[in-house]
Structure 1
């Protein structure tokens, strides 16, 4: 075999090997190197606060009374796992189109309602977004998703300025025109003027009549999370 023939055979073998690698490892390469990393799980950490921390003194209960309105900096969306040719890929969608209010009286959260413009939720894929918007969530008929508190939440003592407190919330979540009861834990901290709230609501999409897509090479898990990082100001 001539040297030129050997080189040609080696090149051909190399091309075949690379092709096989792409077929078998492509989803993992996409997950690890091409797809943007998913958004971080919503948590209130010490280094991400915009609050005026002061000296961490206890807040007066009366200073928290009133209506708090969501403001700039609030985001919401979803987290779900896709299976791409057997490889798990975590996908997060986000939007800043969030509105809502909370009412506090004597250390009790008496009312809370948040509304999300689901048609504005976006991921790294316009095709995925189009499917969720037009087919899965049917935003032409149901343009918003809503959470409404159904049981009051009582804080046993006034929080300290900037202190992160966990509270269990019970309410109703409405997605795609279907309402289901939900219970979840949220983190809250405040300086008396601004409050930050973060958490996840575990959901099963089929409970809301949402069909998770399955296209053979890619499928979406039926369970996921509604996620939120909210900023509210007392007015």
Structure 2
């Protein structure tokens, strides 16, 4: 994702993305055969899949999701901010924290959306026009059950040859979540006509609506 203050970088990203957004149409995947057990109360999932603007926007339109926040996860550094993460200095990835109601959407169903339309799980350390470990594909599991479901789903998709290339998504323990700066929260909702959003991220939401109409809601999670 371009730095907000660097217009030339934005133009470069937009030029690159014309050739890099091959999976904007999304792909319908089989439902997970292993899923989390129903639980009372809300639950949380943390994912990374390239620029967090688009991943946030997708999950904000998933039925049963109550809140989505952008931030940074997966690094060893005891701090994270946009400039340091963008320079690859902290080991973190741009991530989203998804709070959801398991009675309406399961962890496995969130993974189905994540692999289907939120990102391309076969791209190593890049998504669309963005590259670097901060844009890696990752699932940060908080419980043994989340780890089990994530690994089982990757194995299921691999056995089904759901993608023509190997899935490179990391399944790694959750270490913490550093909230991103205010200007990176609700970015798609607040900037729907931004060129980066229109080219790289809006097609993901449209794919969600088309491929999983039963999961799609028109409003934005948490009423934002």
The TM-score bracket by the shorter chain reads under 0.3
Could you say which structure has the higher helix fraction?
2
- What is the TM-score of this pair, normalised by structure 2? 0.27
More relative contact order, 1 or 2 (CA 8 Å, 6+ apart): 2
Q: Indicate the structure (1 or 2) with the bigger Cα radius of gyration.
A: 1
Higher strand share: 1
TM-score (norm 1): 0.26
